[in-house]
Structure 1
């Protein structure tokens, strides 16, 4: 079994999305609200008659260049953004605008991952600009650069400067970032203080994660008692299984360090038994297996499947079923899914067949077995007739199931994909015939009509679409039915009937696609002819 990645690395991955969101928010918010642009020209005489002049491309003002730079940061063109900010900083005489441009240059360097350049940019900027909003904002981006360079003490100081200069609604997130920097630096006491400050206003899942970070800092500072109490509280109160599994793992490791192996294994077993979907349960499983502790083989197989260890998952699930002949379908399902992931499709199908044969009373699993088996036959093995037959077998075995019309529709789609249009049309018709009140009934019959038309059976297509007309009161659907009746009559050389139904289509939904197209046909126009006459010229006199 593979061992888990370093714990702090995993925590950093969890927080990446929050950090990136923070950067994006501050990129958008920083120093753009005070930038205004003036009109390029202003008329001095409202009675002057307008005279056309050649189009000119004005040189962007420094204000516009800063706004352009911010837009380019958002679209990811960091080099061009840097250039826009640079030109603006050299062309403007407005100190506030220059500060915004210099801040933008630093942001562009940070996003380019030029961290040394970012530090140099902001260090010079802070010396030359002792006050101002742009200066205050720069502390955050400077901190991110220091973090990337693993200069954690300097990063923590920069975060502190930002919090002091610009307190606001994101303080909790900034305190957490500062706590992470202090933790990485080894100042665990400082990290505890930062996490406590972050917790003061944290809500939701962030509160749980901050508690875990606080417990880690406490344990690293030697206060195991506090860390244990925090973890036990999370296990008791958290509504998140991932949080519980992570707390179990970290608490178990503390117990191991303290020589309390029985308590440690109890924590690991709790995760394996109750939170198999969590990655930290896999780490707990690894510890138990390496220490020779017995584990539930079903849960072991599920956990191994979830972390993509398919070979050992299959082995564990097989061992479980051998030891427990009176099992439900769960082990077969995860074994089938594991075989699918390693492209052993025949073995996968064999497991689904065992669910179908031995667990027919488990309604949801019984349907799932037919559904998954048919997908593998269809999409992985290109066995179109076999896949369709799998769907039809389910319908025959449980005709009263709510999934029966769903499987009929799926069988029809498989037949279409395989080129068996006649079988597809017949199967679509079965939906309406056998399950007229189902959600799939109307469109099943409509698709049958389309297939008859495609196969050249225009008489059957016409009859099918005429059946549909009385089955709906939706004008768009009625227009579609009228249109296809008309097209079928047209192919049958009954032009009078065709014209009649084109007219009905046009009247049923005059603003819908089929209504518009029917009107065009009646007028002898090409499709969407009216769009060809749209005048895109500017009305310069309005």
Structure 2
């Protein structure tokens, strides 16, 4: 899947940095594996569909998400079934198979005119998405010539322009975008930008400026207005008119509000002034970026320009900019000069950032000294309390646990009313746990609860103290403490966990009956939670959940959309007889909706998601709109948004109605998208397909284009290094990292990696899931200290994998409830 990062960054929020580059980004076509062969799939699946009970939706112009044909030994499928199969291949990102099947349908004399028309459009779209630009140009031209009255002629022209861009045929791209604008204006901004970029490639700067000026006139959002101004500025610079570029940058600064974006424009304006031969004016722009926006990237780049030019810069600002740019030694040097002047009014701030810079640079001793200096010399500083905690943390990093604990306690003693005092005790207790002082940590947790009963983390502190009693073998004390927690804080997450652990403590004391009662209470009060589910397993005699291997049978609960809408009518005030499923014109006539539809049709999925996200946020508190959007997003294959809207709807329902939410809505919230692919890979790797679905829901909410901050990609959120390793294990030599966004690859790799972890941990689901999230090496180390997997979930040194396990446990239960009724 081609990534459009300029757009992802550029239009995320108004006035954010909108155009890191104006040069067209072109990725050369790549040789891709035949995934239908690699996965053991038939090039043309048979025509017998797998029956399934799923929510029924209104037909849509986008590829229909219908049950996909299963594999069997039959004759060549009839055209309509081949169309469904080809659309499935396209949704999976299996473009070779999609092209093959759309081509076969288009050439089939038995296909109807409508089927041939659909095949003609989608065979072109498949080539474009596969970066087969030559094939895309040929098939798009054929579609435009053959079906001149089709409603998709304008999108086809836009796609044709994209294909020409891929071939770097800039004149043809420019002409195709112009033709699109004659037919449609919904994506006018993208078209004008495309014209401008193509003209820049041709060194036709006047045409580029004209395109961006037309874009400015057509812009309906401030973000597009400043984007077009940036294009004009770059064209003016290219034709050596830097003062005209500065005028555009100044116009942007008159409306831009985001610090990072303003800093960037100041930097670009300074660069233009350098080109204009006015270094003094440029330096003023650099200085403004440094002085007003010191936390931004372009403040640092501006500082570099100033230092290289020998321009004096205030040492405090210099240190601040360097610190935020993570250039710590220059920050230390500059801030040290500030501190040495002693009379500087910013001494407290300088000491604080100097201490942080020293710590980040590995000089813990001097960091401690600077924290102490701040506490002693500038006690009124807003950072004084933080300095105590940083000083303690630095002692801990040096291995001086005793001194770290002394600092935490001394701070609480001297400043008991500080809002940071509960945090100091919390950190002290956690530090004691990390060095194995379990009894001391329990005392500190309880001290926190006694001193600061209103602190937010008191229930968790009390839970942790009891858990440490349990770890030390004092089961009676642990049970008593958890019982007290439940009584005092009954409606907290800590109480949910405590009810489960009361049962564990009772069992450890040999009181099986009370253990059973405690687990029954945990099930009754939080049946869908990790702890309620673990309680159910222990009551059933399942000490450790193990993978049961592949289980294909899905005995699904019947669902009814009519029932769901009757439930909605029971608490929503809607006119009798009014359609609840149809999107109202108040939504469909919004520019964001129209742009989202158009962007999705031409293959700009990420940009489309941004537009639809605006719609979701605008209607976030309207339950009927959430229902309608959940259906509409589902129809368009925007499963993440559909899930979020379905869940939001159920949360907006009155409390007394939530328990009666129909299964139709629960299946919207816990769907089984990419069903055939998930089942096929689960069977290959001997996994329960519902466990794999539960993992995918947690990882991506079934959105193929998603990317995490750690660069995990696609449905199963595989990071590139892991993807490279899996490809090597599977013998896949002709693939590229971008393929991780393709569902056919992501599910294959995710299933394989989960299979590897289950094998590595003897089929135990909890450590396997933790290993999928945090890596098997870490989990093996943790298991050396925690043989009880329930204790591992509570005490893992990194909290994210444990949280991950709890969520997938709940997902897995919901999937079994919905798709394997009776379990």
TM-score after normalising by structure 2? 0.52
| Cα distance change on mapping 1:251 and 1:17 into 2, 3 Å | closer
- Structure 1 position 412, deviation (Å): 1.7
- Structure 1 position 422, deviation (Å): 1.1
Instruction: Find 2:450's aligned residue among 433, 444, 456.
Output: 433
Q: What residue number does 1:362 align with? A: 381
- Show CA shifts across 1:235-277 (max 9, x none): 3332122333233233334433444343332222211211223
- Structure 1 position 201, deviation (Å): 2.5
| Cα distance change on mapping 1:175 and 1:134 into 2, 3 Å | same
Is 1:249 matched with 2:270? no
Q: What residue number does 1:27 align with? A: none
Q: What residue number does 2:526 align with? A: 512
Q: What residue number does 2:568 align with? A: none
Is 1:160 matched with 2:175? no
Is 1:214 matched with 2:232? yes
| Cα distance change on mapping 1:473 and 1:197 into 2, 3 Å | same
Is the Cα contact below 8 Å between 2:392 and 2:404 reproduced in 1?
Answer: yes
How many residue pairs get aligned? The number is 502
C-alpha separation in 1, matches of 2:515 and 2:68: 58
| Cα distance change on mapping 1:250 and 1:103 into 2, 3 Å | same
- Structure 1 position 157, deviation (Å): 1.7
| Cα distance change on mapping 1:373 and 1:126 into 2, 3 Å | farther
Q: What residue number does 1:51 align with? A: none
Instruction: Find 2:204's aligned residue among 180, 187, 203.
Output: 187
- Structure 1 position 155, deviation (Å): 2.0
| Cα distance change on mapping 1:132 and 1:463 into 2, 3 Å | closer
- Structure 1 position 382, deviation (Å): 6.3
- Structure 1 position 428, deviation (Å): 1.0
Is 1:442 matched with 2:470? no
C-alpha separation in 2, matches of 1:399 and 1:335: 27
Is 1:277 matched with 2:295? yes
Q: What residue number does 1:231 align with? A: 249
Secondary structure of 1:137's counterpart equals helix
- Structure 1 position 368, deviation (Å): 3.2
C-alpha separation in 1, matches of 2:87 and 2:342: 63
Instruction: Find 1:80's aligned residue among 97, 116, 131.
Output: 97
User: Relative CO higher for 1 or 2, CA cutoff 8 Å, sep ≥ 6?
Assistant: 2
- Structure 1 position 429, deviation (Å): 0.9
**Residues 263-412 of structure 1 mapped to structure 2, 5 A cutoff:** 263-323=281-341, 326=344, 327-339=346-358, 341-345=360-364, 348-363=367-382, 365-374=383-392, 387-412=404-429
Is the Cα contact below 8 Å between 1:246 and 1:280 reproduced in 2?
Answer: yes
Secondary structure of 1:419's counterpart equals coil
- Structure 1 position 480, deviation (Å): 5.8
Is the Cα contact below 8 Å between 2:368 and 2:391 reproduced in 1?
Answer: yes
> Which one has a larger percent helix, Structure 1 or Structure 2?
1
C-alpha separation in 1, matches of 2:134 and 2:86: 21
- Structure 1 position 279, deviation (Å): 3.0
C-alpha separation in 2, matches of 1:59 and 1:528: 50
Is the Cα contact below 8 Å between 1:276 and 1:299 reproduced in 2?
Answer: yes
Is the Cα contact below 8 Å between 2:23 and 2:197 reproduced in 1?
Answer: no
Q: What residue number does 1:33 align with? A: 61
| Cα distance change on mapping 1:95 and 1:164 into 2, 3 Å | farther
C-alpha separation in 2, matches of 1:405 and 1:66: 63
- Show CA shifts across 1:300-321 (max 9, x none): 3333344444443333333444
TM-score after normalising by structure 1? 0.75
Is the Cα contact below 8 Å between 1:377 and 1:386 reproduced in 2?
Answer: yes
CA radius of gyration, larger in = 1
- Show CA shifts across 1:340-398 (max 9, x none): 555555555555454444443223x23433444555665x6666555555543432332
| Cα distance change on mapping 1:451 and 1:279 into 2, 3 Å | closer
| Cα distance change on mapping 1:328 and 1:196 into 2, 3 Å | same
C-alpha separation in 2, matches of 1:450 and 1:40: 49
Secondary structure of 1:303's counterpart equals helix
Q: What residue number does 1:141 align with? A: 159
**Residues 103-114 of structure 1 mapped to structure 2, 5 A cutoff:** 103-114=121-132
Instruction: Find 1:526's aligned residue among 536, 541, 544.
Output: 541
Is the Cα contact below 8 Å between 1:412 and 1:424 reproduced in 2?
Answer: yes
C-alpha separation in 2, matches of 1:446 and 1:157: 68
C-alpha separation in 1, matches of 2:97 and 2:317: 53
Secondary structure of 1:362's counterpart equals coil
- Structure 1 position 472, deviation (Å): 2.9
Gaps of 5+ in 1: 1-9, 21-30, 42-53
Secondary structure of 2:321's counterpart equals helix
- Show CA shifts across 1:28-78 (max 9, x none): xxx97177799999xxxxxxxxxxxx9887865544545554554454433
Deviates more, 1:498-507 or 1:417-426: 498-507
- Structure 1 position 450, deviation (Å): 1.7
C-alpha separation in 1, matches of 2:484 and 2:354: 47
- Structure 1 position 421, deviation (Å): 1.1
C-alpha separation in 1, matches of 2:76 and 2:401: 63
- Show CA shifts across 1:473-530 (max 9, x none): 439866765665565455556x4xx746854774687243567877998xx742599x
C-alpha separation in 2, matches of 1:38 and 1:368: 57
C-alpha separation in 1, matches of 2:556 and 2:522: 36
- Structure 1 position 423, deviation (Å): 1.4
Deviates more, 1:182-191 or 1:498-507: 498-507
Is the Cα contact below 8 Å between 1:209 and 1:243 reproduced in 2?
Answer: no
Deviates more, 1:396-405 or 1:248-257: 248-257
| Cα distance change on mapping 1:360 and 1:100 into 2, 3 Å | farther
C-alpha separation in 2, matches of 1:275 and 1:69: 52
Q: What residue number does 2:195 align with? A: 178
| Cα distance change on mapping 1:385 and 1:196 into 2, 3 Å | farther
C-alpha separation in 2, matches of 1:275 and 1:475: 41
Is the Cα contact below 8 Å between 2:507 and 2:515 reproduced in 1?
Answer: no
Is 1:413 matched with 2:430? yes
C-alpha separation in 1, matches of 2:194 and 2:408: 53
- Structure 1 position 186, deviation (Å): 2.2
- Structure 1 position 441, deviation (Å): 2.0
| Cα distance change on mapping 1:257 and 1:451 into 2, 3 Å | closer
Deviates more, 1:505-514 or 1:228-237: 505-514
Q: What residue number does 1:25 align with? A: none
Gaps of 5+ in 2: 1-16, 28-58, 560-823
Is the Cα contact below 8 Å between 2:267 and 2:302 reproduced in 1?
Answer: yes
